[in-house]
């Protein structure tokens, strides 16, 4: 089985994934890092030089490959689970865990970060609110489990996921 962490930028997918993986005895994989490796460039450069659709194509290839693996905690990029094919592939091999946070908290956590092209722009909070609103339904539809991270330290988020995975496994 895999455990797939997904949700908006800045909700802590990578941080929580790194903490969760050893506790399950799973390997940690970050889809953004894998996609950067496959692209041979950073995400911000890929958006600027190749455009978002080309980035999404490569990301889909990474998702297909990771979906074929087992015993992994997979952190997705914020937009990865908006693609229905990606969700189908990942669902077939794992549990989909949606991490959430308020727009204000996401704004704080991504402060001073230039690596996320979709958050670039003058009014970042407005940008976050609009994107979240646009994505919310698709995020919820893809989730087997929703864990709120507002004001919760990453290690406690990992605890909550572990507990709920164990309860679900009986
Ligand atoms: C994106 C989120 C980013 C990265 C890319 C696009 C998105 O990942 O994949 O910048 O569409 O939300 P993180 O959520 O890890 O920042």
pLDDT digits (tens, 9 = 90+) for 19-64: 999 999 999 999 999 999 999 999 999 999 999 999 999 999 999 9
Spacing, Cα 78 to ligand 1 middle (Å): 4
Tell me the pLDDT tens digit for each residue of 90-125: 999 999 999 999 999 999 999 888 888 888 877 899
Enumerate residues lining ligand 1, CB below 6 A.
Answer: 9, 13, 32, 43, 77-79, 116-118
Beta partners for residue 160, in sequence order: none
**Which residue among 17, 83, 116 is best mutated to probe the pocket of ligand 1, counting the most ligand atoms within 8 A of its Cβ?**
116
Does the pLDDT value for residue 6 go beyond 80? yes
Q: With bands split at pLDDT 50, 70 and 90, how would you rate the model's confidence at 80?
A: very high
Provide the 10 A C-beta neighbour count for residue 155: 12
**Which pLDDT belongs to residue 143?**
98
**Which pLDDT belongs to residue 32?**
97
Residue 2: closest CA among 17, 19, 14:
17
Beta partners for residue 39, in sequence order: none
Quote the tokens at residue 139: 């995020």
């Amino acid at each position: 089985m895999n455990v797939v962490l997904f949700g908006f930028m800045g909700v802590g997918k990578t941080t929580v994934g790194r903490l969760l993986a050893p506790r399950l005895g799973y390997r940690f994989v970050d889809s953004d890092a894998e996609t950067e490796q496959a692209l041979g460039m950073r995400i911000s450069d890929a958006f600027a030089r190749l455009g978002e659709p080309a980035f999404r194509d490569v990301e889909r290839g990474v998702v297909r490959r990771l979906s074929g693996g087992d015993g992994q905690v997979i952190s997705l990029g914020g937009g990865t689970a908006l693609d229905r094919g990606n969700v189908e592939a990942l669902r077939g091999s794992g549990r989909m865990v949606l991490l959430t946070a308020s727009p204000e908290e996401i704004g704080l956590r991504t402060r001073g970060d230039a690596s996320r092209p979709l958050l670039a722009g003058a009014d970042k909070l407005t940008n976050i609110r609009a994107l979240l609103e646009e994505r919310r339904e698709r995020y919820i539809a893809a989730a087997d489990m929703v864990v709120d991270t507002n004001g919760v330290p990453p290690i406690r988020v990992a605890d909550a996921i572990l507990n709920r995975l164990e309860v679900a496994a009986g």
